[in-house]
Amino acid sequence: MGVLPLARHVIVRAMDPSPSAPYLAPVEDGAPVPGFRNSPQNIEAEQALLGALLVNNDIAATVAGFLEPEHFFEDIHARIYDAAQALIERGQIANPTTLKAFFQNDEALKDIGGADYLRRLASGAVTIINAEDYGRLIYDLALRRNLIVIGEDMVNTAYESALEETSSLQIEAAEQRLYNLAEKGKYEGGFRPFTSSIRGAVENAQAAFKRDGHLTGVGTGLRDLDQKLGGLHKSDLIILAGRPSMGKTSLATNIAYNAAKAYQEAHQSGSTADASEGAVVAFFSLEMSAEQLASRILAEVSGIPSEKLRRGLFSKDDWPHLVQASQDLEELPLFIDDTAAISIAALRARARRLKRQHNLGLVVVDYLQLLRPATSRRSENRVLEISEITQALKALAKDLEVPVLALSQLSRAVEQREDKRPLLSDLRESGAIEQDADIVMFIFREEYYHERLRPPEDKPEFEDWQRRMLEIQGITEVIIGKHRHGPTGTVQLLFEGRITKFANYGDPERLPEVPY
């Protein structure tokens, strides 16, 4: 027997803390072995930037908007940059002489020449013109190093994950880290010339002028509400609050359907998205299932009561209407996520994905008290949790440049008052909701409360009760308690509970009278 050649192996798994964890993949004898690769870095660029900064402190203003100390590869360079920025922010001069005191006993600096190294940085500065380019290069290389760390963590987590860490949760966590990396220190941000800002405002006004409804945002499909709000504006957080059984979900579902329908019709007619009052809609339903929401919309479109649809009590004559309505709704750009107790981090990740894939234009959340905060540990202070959630929803609206319509519960203080119309102070669990929201709307149906005061039919007050019931039947008030872009006030709508549909109050087709 001959002597077998020793098998060679390559470690294909990186940065695993366990010594026995690396997976050894056999490599054929004679095959090339992957070499060691250095982390992306450019020491010369770091030295050139610091030298230029020590020669001309004005450079600090050009790079401070995006470059942080942690972006430097060499730790000593990071500390020199940090100390120089601290001196400049205090109005002092940062040069080798003033920085010497900060690093007198620094062992790391002593190893490379001590205070002489600072002088060499300044004397070696060839040009200060390219200093910002050096800063951008350092920033880009830091992002690459972070990408490597995220990638290695993804590999390690996928190999050895806890039982509760499903693959979908790992994907959402990776997406969140990548998004944070993309947003943090984004040097494209900062001040914008007023010229570009005013140009954007004029373009919005021009788009509103061209639209039939003269709206600057996504239309709700309800005439009087659109006139009051001007549509749902990009980057706005809109809160729709009310007590249970007021019709919050029904109104949100109507708005979502109307926006998606308008978007669909505009594209079918060949119009551009900018000329449309509609939008692609993401509906996060934390309380109801996707099928229940679909049934509500199906009832609204077909005119068949939702109760009959749910129990299968519709007649043969209703079947053609049901089939036609379902066919009309099949291509509707409305996406429903009915994940229970979804975290705000997962909601952001899924909304961003939909924005990339389908040009998302409106986010609806039903309702925000059921969202979980982004942090894995739940706070003992519910007010802080709600504050974190509302801030995250507002940030999502700004990042994606879409309106976010979030439903909210009200406290029971409403029930203790004689006039049960909600107030801003009734927002449940947190004043941060009022603070972070651009628009706060309350939904109120007097019919709901008056119905519970029904006296026996043999009592003399029954006729007065019945007369008042007929006067307020179906009438719903949408009370705008806060409006950052316009007036507050009250808008009246009609609500047909049989098919959970809201309509304009002035429409000729009034709701049918119901005997009591």
How wide is the angle at C-alpha 501 spanned by C-alphas 499 and 505, nearest 5°? Answer: 135
- Max Cα–Cα distance, the chain, nearest Å: 114
Over residues 329-356, mean pLDDT: 83
Tens-place pLDDT, residues 153-177:
888 888 887 776 777 778 877 877 7
Domain boundaries, given as residue ranges, for the chain: 34-184, 212-441
What is the model's pLDDT at position 403? 92
Mean pLDDT across the chain, nearest whole number?
77
What is the model's pLDDT at position 271? 61
Lateral strand order in the sheet of 360-366: 334-337, 280-285, 360-366, 404-409, 237-242, 439-444, 475-483, 489-496, 501-504
Contacts of 92 (CB under 8 A, 6+ apart): 98
CATH code of 34-184, in short, is 1.10.860.10
Tens-place pLDDT, residues 8-59:
333 333 434 443 444 444 555 555 555 567 788 898 888 888 888 888 888 8
**% the chain with pLDDT above 90:** 4
Residue indicated by tokens 């990186």: 14
What is the model's pLDDT at position 32? 58
Over residues 378-405, mean pLDDT: 83
| Distance from C-alpha of 379 to C-alpha of 389, rounded to nearest angstrom | 12
Q: What is the DSSP letter of 343?
A: B
Coil/strand/helix, residue 404: strand
| Distance from C-alpha of 93 to C-alpha of 98, rounded to nearest angstrom | 7
Would you say 138 and 67 are in contact if contact means Cβ atoms under 8 Å apart? yes
Q: Could you say which of 3.40.50.300, 3.40.50.150, 3.60.20.10, 1.20.1640.10 is the CATH number of the domain covering 212-441? A: 3.40.50.300
Give the highest mean pLDDT range of 141-145, 226-230, 317-321: 141-145
| Distance from C-alpha of 438 to C-alpha of 481, rounded to nearest angstrom | 11
Coil/strand/helix, residue 85: helix
Contacts of 393 (CB under 8 A, 6+ apart): 237, 344, 365, 368, 404, 406, 436
More confident residue, 189 or 149: 149
pLDDT band at residue 417, thresholds of 50, 70 and 90?
confident
- Residue 343 above 70 pLDDT? yes
Tell me the two tokens of residue 498. Answer: 């049989």
What is the model's pLDDT at position 24? 45
Q: What is the pTM of this model?
A: 0.64
Tell me the two tokens of residue 98. Answer: 């003033």
Q: CA-CA distances (angstroms) from residue 229 to 41, 105, 223?
A: 51, 63, 10
| Distance from C-alpha of 104 to C-alpha of 401, rounded to nearest angstrom | 50
Helix (H) or strand (E) holding 54: helix 43-55
Helix (H) or strand (E) holding 27: strand 24-27
Phi first, then psi: what are they for 369, rounded to 5°? -70, -15
How wide is the angle at C-alpha 281 spanned by C-alphas 486 and 478, nearest 5°? Answer: 40
Residue indicated by tokens 């760390």: 149
More confident residue, 78 or 274: 78
| The dihedral formed by the CA atoms of 480, 482, 486 and 488, expressed in degrees to the nearest 10 | 40
- Residue 470 above 60 pLDDT? yes
| Distance from C-alpha of 248 to C-alpha of 133, rounded to nearest angstrom | 52
pLDDT band at residue 246, thresholds of 50, 70 and 90?
confident
| Distance from C-alpha of 137 to C-alpha of 130, rounded to nearest angstrom | 11
